[in-house]
A and B are shown apart, each in its own frame.
Chain A
Amino acid sequence: MKISITSLVMVLFILLTSCGGKEEKKEGFSVDRSKKTEKPTKVAPVSNEVPASKRVILENKGVGQIKSITLDAEIDTKMASEGEAIFKTNCSACHKIEKRFIGPSPKGILERRSPEWIMNMILDPKLMTEEDQCAKDLLIEFNGAAMANQNLTVEQTRSILEYFRTL
Chain B
Amino acid sequence: MKKYNYYLLTLIGAAALLSSCGNQNGGGKSSNGALSSSAAEKVYVAPGEQDEFYAFMSGGYSGNLTVYGLPSGRMFKEIPVFSQFPTSGYGYSEETKPMLNTSFGFVPWDDAHHPDISQTKGVLDGRWIFINGNNTPRIAKIDLTTFETTEIIEIPNSAGNHSSSFITENTEYVVAGTRFSVPVPQRDMPINEYKGNFKGALSFISVAPDDGKLNLEFQIMMPGFNYDLSHPGRGKSHGWFFFTTYNTEEANSLLEVNASQNDKDFIAAINWKKVEEYVKNGGGEKMPANYAHNVYDEHTHTATSTMKKEVITVDPTKIPGAVFFLPTPKSPHGCDVDPSGEYIIGNGKLSADLTVHSFDNMIAAIEGKKFDGEAYGIPILKFEDVLAGTVKSGGLGPLHTEFDGKGNAYTTFFISSEVVKWKLGTWEVLDRKPTFYSVGHLMIPGGNSAKPYGKYVVAMNKITKDRYLPTGPELEHSAQLYDITGDKMELIYDFPTHGEPHYAAGIPAELLSSKSKKIYRLTENKHPYAVLSPDKARVERNGKEVHVYMSMIRSHFTPDNIEGIKVGDKVYFHITNHEQDFDVPHGFAMIGQNTSELLIMPGQTKTSLWEPKKEGIWPFYCTDFCSALHQEMQGYVRVSAANSNVPLTYTLGE
Contact = CB atoms under 8 A, between A and B. Distances in A.
Contacts of A37: none
A77 interface: no
Interface residues of A, number: 17
Given A88-B533, A148-B581, A93 B629 contact: no
B519 A143 contact: no
A94 B522 contact: no
A151 B628 contact: no
A94 B579 CA distance: 11
A143 B522 CA distance: 27
Mostly, the A contact residues are loop
Contacts of A144: 627-629
B519 A151 contact: yes
Contact of B581 (A93, A101, A102, A150): A150
Interface string B612-632: 000000000000000111000
Nearest to A88: B533
Contact of B653 (A90, A101, A151, A152): A101
A151 B629 contact: no
B534 A151 contact: no
Nearest to B518: A151
Interface string B518-536: 0100110000000011110
A150 B584 CA distance: 11
Given A93-B551, A145-B628, A151-B519, A102 B556 contact: yes
A81 interface: no
B578 A146 contact: no
A120 to B, nearest CB: 16
A90 B578 contact: yes
Contact of B535 (A88, A146, A151): A88
Nearest to B533: A88
Interface residues on B, range: 20 to 34
B464 interface: no
B627 A89 contact: no
B604 interface: no
A105 interface: no
B234 interface: no
Nearest to B557: A93
Contact of B554 (A88, A89, A146): A146
B522 A146 contact: no
Interface string B576-603: 0011111010000000000000000000
Contact of B629 (A88, A145, A149, A152): A145
A88 B627 CA distance: 22
A92 B522 CA distance: 14
B23 interface: no
Mostly, the B contact residues are loop
Contacts of B627: 144-146
Nearest to B578: A93
B479 to A, nearest CB: 37
A143 B555 CA distance: 11
Interface in B539-567: 551, 553-556, 558
Contact of A149 (B522, B555, B581): B581
A99 to B, nearest CB: 9
A148 B602 CA distance: 11
Contacts of A89: 522-523, 532-533, 578
A88 B558 CA distance: 14
Nearest to A146: B627
Nearest to B525: A89
Interface in A133-150: 143-146, 148-150
Contacts of A152: 580
A90 B580 contact: yes
Interface string A124-165: 000000000000000000011110111110000000000000
A92 B534 contact: yes
A146 B582 CA distance: 15
Which are the 6 A-B pairs with shortest beta-carbon distances? A150-B580, A88-B533, A93-B553, A144-B628, A149-B581, A151-B580
Interface of B: 519, 522-523, 532-535, 551, 553-556, 558, 578-582, 584, 627-629, 653
Interface of A: 88-90, 92-94, 101-102, 143-146, 148-152
20 contacts: A88-B533, A89-B532, A89-B533, A90-B578, A92-B534, A92-B535, A93-B556, A93-B578, A143-B629, A145-B555, A145-B627, A146-B628, A148-B580, A148-B584, A149-B581, A150-B580, A150-B581, A151-B580, A151-B582, A152-B580
Given A93-B558, A143-B629, A150-B580, 13 more contacts: A89-B523, A89-B578, A90-B522, A93-B551, A93-B578, A94-B553, A145-B554, A145-B628, A145-B629, A146-B628, A148-B581, A150-B579, A151-B581
